[in-house]
Amino acid sequence: MSAPLADLRRGAICIALYPFTPELPLDVVLREADSDGGLNAKIESYDSIESVARITRNELVIQFKLRPVLLLQTGTSDQLPDVLVARVNSITEDHRQRRAAWVAKLENNIHPLMLRVGHEHHHGLKVESYVNLTSVQPVNKAAILRNVGYLDEGEMVSISERLILSLEIDVSAYVAQLRPELSSSGETSEQVQLS
């Protein structure tokens, strides 16, 4: 049974079916009915997107994994089938040995695109992990197995800051509205008068 919709709040950490992005060569599924009315399926491999564009098939073989994800949107409505999530990965011993500077950035909370999780009980993860805000995609809500934890409001502020960077969202007009006293040159109106 899938996770109840009421559990799919923004900031929830859930176990979900997370498909990997298809890469070339693409394995395309060919389904054919046999003489007994049964169904046979075989796979053909295509090594260029041009060759895929010439065929009418539309079923691909993709890899997937049940993994923790962070819900970036509220998924409690039954009117929307999908919800946008970010991928959660574990910080491994190999990371600690070979990527010590990267681990230190996570632990010091200064990585611009990733956030450490799993070190607080409410995250619901058994291993220290990170949310990768460069790996964001929708998942079908029926493919969410269950909620295991959540990020609190302060942690979700950190997520929002990193999403602005990873999605390259231009918030300059919004920032200008919040700081109307700044001119485009960055000087305050008072400084302009004094100069």
Residue closer to another protein, measured from CB, 74 or 89: 89
CB 113 within 8 A of CB 130: no
Query: Which amino acid is located at 54 in the chain?
Result: R
Residue closer to another protein, measured from CB, 36 or 190: 190
In 53-182 the beta strands, taken as DSSP E runs, fall at: 64-71, 82-90, 114-117, 129-140, 144-150
Residue closer to another protein, measured from CB, 57 or 98: 98
Q: Residues interacting with another protein, by CB under 8 A?
A: 15, 20-21, 23, 65-68, 87, 89, 95, 99, 101-102, 104, 108-110, 112-114, 124-127, 132, 134-135, 146, 148-149, 165-166, 168-176, 186
134: number of CA atoms within 13 Å, CB side? 4
Q: How far apart are CB 91 and another protein at their closest, in Å?
A: 10
Closest among 120, 140, 121, 134 to 89, alpha carbons compared: 134
Q: How far apart are CB 65 and another protein at their closest, in Å?
A: 5
Residue closer to another protein, measured from CB, 25 or 81: 25
Cis bond before residue 25 (omega within 30° of 0): yes
Written as six digits, the tokens of 182 are: 């700044």
Collect contacts of 94-97 with beta carbons under 8 A, ≥24 apart. none
Count Cβ atoms below 10 Å from residue 159 Cβ, excluding itself.
19
Q: How far apart are CB 79 and another protein at their closest, in Å?
A: 28
DSSP letter (8 states) at residue 167: T
Q: How far apart are CB 55 and another protein at their closest, in Å?
A: 25
Q: How far apart are CB 3 and another protein at their closest, in Å?
A: 12
